[in-house]
Amino acid sequence: MTLITQLHIRKGFTTVMFGLPDFTFFVIVGVSLIWVLYTLVFWILSKNWHLADETEGQ
């Protein structure tokens, strides 16, 4: 069995990836991607917060 068929096996009408139903797999991947995007946006937007703190005291 190739790696692709091991990771993506069709059982009846339901496709199973990594042993999980499609919906569960995509929910896990989707939440993970949203979390990573949220973290990247927060990190990019908050890079220069120290500059705002320095000008606040003046």
How do the pLDDT tens digits run along the chain, 58 residues long?
A: 455 555 555 655 566 777 878 888 889 999 999 999 999 999 999 888 777 777 766 5
pLDDT number for residue 9: 59
DSSP helix, strand, coil percent of the chain (3-state; round to 5)? 65, 15, 20
**Dihedrals φ, ψ of 57, to 5°?**
-80, -5
Per-residue pLDDT at 49 = 79
Q: What is the pLDDT of residue 32?
A: 97
Give the pLDDT score at 17: 72
In DSSP terms, 40 is beta-bridged to none
10: left (phi over 0), alpha (psi -120 to 50) or beta: beta
Tell me the domain boundaries of the chain: 22-50
pLDDT value at position 19? Answer: 80
| DSSP code at position 47 | T
